[in-house]
Structure 1
Amino acid sequence: MPSRPKTIDDVSAQEHTVAVLRKTLTSSNLPHMLFYGPPGTGKTSTILALARQLFGPDNFRSRVLELNASDERGISIVREKIKNFARQTPRAQTVASDGKTYPCPPYKVIILDEADSMTQDAQAALRRIMELYARITRFCLVCNYVTRIIEPLASRCSKFRFKPLDSSSTSTRLAQIASAENVPISPEAVDALIATSHGDLRRAITYLQSASRLAMSVTPPTDITPRDVQEIAGVVPNQFVGDFATALGIEPLAHDAMDVDVDESGRAKTKGFDGVRRKVKEVIREGYSASQIIMQLHDHVITHPTLTARQKARCALVFAEADKALTDGADEELWIMEVGLRVYKTVTSES
């Protein structure tokens, strides 16, 4: 598994945040910070890389306290562990053992990863500690949902939004990792990694690692295919989604072109209610998640070039109802059937 970035310049795709933080390396003035954004976009990696560049390997352990989701962070931890660390006056800078010179400013850094899972009381107690020890301690709150951080706490921090990684940045980093780890991978498989990870680089790297192990587990080793990536990610293969959509009366796309009028035995496929029902039975037999296939079918419909805006809007309402029902614990097969029949009715009655 590749290691985290060593410096903030190694962080992918967060140019604005990196540019601002780079200036803090040339001054001793670091504000309290709040990093927020989707998972796998480099929030924790960025603050750890910044701390290493500020303090160096020798002072990192004594100057940086990191608490993450595996630690209890109720009000007692804030009053004891965090407060005790915050009130300690940092030691004078020592000569770095690696021979490099580090800024080593006169304060410590406390990193609270997944701060949005802290209780309201703990956040309120933290507010006072941030005020009392601001001269010798800086806080960095890392979270996915900034709205779960109480306003008095958020207002004391400089906010940095981490956006999902774009395709080119993810592709570049995955190519670097594959090259460093000697993992042969095709551009099509990289595209599949990007599509299934949705801007989460950590998830994409995990899928790459799993796909590599799968490819190496056979003799001779095989190439990583897009279908391997989709299977690992729990995503329904595009070909299957396209086939399902065709059974619902949606015109097949060029890259899904196939003989959809006959089944495996060469007999004409049934259309209408019986055709949809048979296809739904096939979905259930394959064991695919109803939520996953409805989500992918939604994307297929919304981006389809020949469906009208009205058809897409009516289908979207069906997908929304199904998503709500499945979240409430409804029967998966019945709702896939419901979606299939209503989409079929919408497409065929207006085509």
Structure 2
Amino acid sequence: MPAETESDTPMETNTANEAQEDIVVVSSSDAEITVVSEPSKSETTTTASIAPKNKLAKVTDLNLLPWVEKYRPAVLGDLISHQDITSTIQKFIDMDQLPHLLFYGPPGTGKTSTILALVKQLYPRDYQSQVLELNASDDRGIGVVRERIVGFASTRTMFNKKFKFVILDEADAMTNDAQNALRRVMEKYTENTRFCLICNYLSKIIPAIQSRCTRFRFGPLTAEQMMPRIRHVIESEKVTVTEEGLNAILSLATGDMRRSLNILQSCATAYKTVDEESVYVCTGNPSKQDINTIVQWLLNKEFSACVDGIFDFCSTKGYSLQDIITQVHLYCVKIDFPHAVKCKLLSKMADIEERLLAGASEFLQLTALVASFTTARHEAIELAAAS
């Protein structure tokens, strides 16, 4: 009997110690360590507290995204323009005969959005394993073509019979050696991989690659095409925008959907109400009233007074001569000058803009601009007197 009592006592003591030992629960998602005394209650509490944190994190990440990415189309049907291109690509998909693609055109016209919507529609579940996306920030030398692209294109997924997809964004930044190496890769792995090249300038893509792709040009968007999408963003973000402010955004965007959304987001962040004045102030572009004042000076003032007035005006407002020439050009087309005089004036303005881009002095080019208008004005008067 004493032996049994001694054997029972240690067992009870060990059980009690084990029950009193703290259990450490490590949460990998929150990177926290919680010390709990009761296992069953702690598991329930920990699980319940983690779930809402993850949900809040997703919502916060979505709200922190730029509006350009937040409202990027997810499927081909969400695209707002180029219906002929999207319908043609959709027919390729339905017939299971998708060729190599080459998208080119100005920035912000939907090239990247179209191909991303396409691959998300093709690979809703295994996007990471089936799609290789290389952007302008990646190395574009011949080594990338021989290593990353060939390594990706030469393998096939075991349980997926679909072809893989390689997206080369900003392909006009690739070297000629890389493009020459790429054309052989495109031919060799056609059964397993499709390529989509995206660029702004078609002339920078070698003819050998152009002939291997089906080309689609994405032109600038019209105001009628951009308006519904911008209004959708305005309603979703609950932004107060006037009609004049909306027209100013469309005017400055010049067919670039990305630029219009960036202007809208920056103005909505800086001002409670997005009107015409706030749009021009936020973007640093001269307003229509300012350009109208400058054009009136160019057409009516004497040379010295006009140069001094425009120089002081630009210094006070912080405008660059490049922006002024871009806006004044639109007025020049509407000025009632003889055609010969107008052609000379526009040609001189183009030369001034070229010299500005090359790094010439703004003050010297400003005097050249005023001199061009003064000469055009005198020539127009002489032609009118002669007739």
Shorter-normalised TM range? 0.7 to 0.9
Query: Residues 145-201 of structure 1, C-alpha deviation per residue, up to 9 Å, x if partnerless?
Result: 111111111110000111110110111211111111111212211111111111110
1:21 to 89, 94, 97: 89
Residues 110, 137 of structure 1: 8 Å contact kept:
yes
Structure 2 residue aligned with 1:228: 278
Q: Which amino acid aligns with 2:268?
A: S
Structure 1 residue aligned with 2:328: 297
Structure 2 residue aligned with 1:47: 115
Q: How does 1:61-76 map to 2 (within 5 A)?
A: 61-76=128-143
Counterparts of 1:145 and 1:235, CA distance in 2? 26
Q: Which amino acid aligns with 1:332?
A: E
Counterparts of 1:343 and 1:284, CA distance in 2? 18
Structure 2 residue aligned with 1:346: 376
Q: How does 1:133-212 map to 2 (within 5 A)?
A: 133-212=189-268
1:81 aligns with 2:134: no
Query: Residues 60-110 of structure 1, C-alpha deviation per residue, up to 9 Å, x if partnerless?
Result: 1111110001111211111011101101113324xxxxxxxxxxx620100
1:311 to 318, 324, 341: 341
How far did residue 311 of structure 1 move? 3.1
Larger RCO (CA within 8 A; separation ≥ 6): 1
Residues 246, 275 of structure 2: 8 Å contact kept:
no
Residues 243, 275 of structure 2: 8 Å contact kept:
no
Counterparts of 2:289 and 2:374, CA distance in 1? 19
1:283 aligns with 2:286: no
Extract unaligned runs of 5+ from structure 1: 94-104, 216-220, 251-270
| Cα pair distance change 1:321/1:283, threshold 3 Å | farther
1:91 aligns with 2:131: no
How far did residue 284 of structure 1 move? 3.5
Residues 290, 332 of structure 1: 8 Å contact kept:
yes
Residues 341, 379 of structure 2: 8 Å contact kept:
no
RMSD: 1.6
Residues 41, 199 of structure 1: 8 Å contact kept:
yes
Counterparts of 2:340 and 2:242, CA distance in 1? 39
How far did residue 323 of structure 1 move? 1.4
Residues 186, 224 of structure 1: 8 Å contact kept:
yes
Counterparts of 2:157 and 2:96, CA distance in 1? 14
Residues 294, 336 of structure 1: 8 Å contact kept:
no
Q: How does 1:96-135 map to 2 (within 5 A)?
A: 106-135=162-191
How far did residue 308 of structure 1 move? 3.0
> Considering only CA atoms, is the larger Rg found in Structure 1 or Structure 2?
2
Aligned to 1:134, what secondary structure does the other structure show?
coil
Task: Write 1 or 2 for the structure with the bigger share of helix.
Answer: 2
Counterparts of 1:181 and 1:25, CA distance in 2? 34
Query: Residues 237-289 of structure 1, C-alpha deviation per residue, up to 9 Å, x if partnerless?
Result: 11111101101226xxxxxxxxxxxxxxxxxxxx4134312322223313211
Q: Which amino acid aligns with 1:232?
A: C
Counterparts of 1:199 and 1:133, CA distance in 2? 37
Q: Which 4+ stretches in 1 moved above 6 angstroms?
A: none
Structure 1 residue aligned with 2:23: none
Residues 115, 141 of structure 1: 8 Å contact kept:
yes
2:351 to 318, 321, 341: 321
Query: Residues 103-146 of structure 1, C-alpha deviation per residue, up to 9 Å, x if partnerless?
Result: xx620100000011001111111111111110010000011111
Extract unaligned runs of 5+ from structure 2: 1-66, 382-387
Q: Which amino acid aligns with 1:67?
A: L
Residues 108, 137 of structure 1: 8 Å contact kept:
yes
**What percent identity do the matched residue pairs reach?**
36
Residues 25, 53 of structure 1: 8 Å contact kept:
no
Counterparts of 1:17 and 1:331, CA distance in 2? 45
Counterparts of 1:32 and 1:342, CA distance in 2? 50
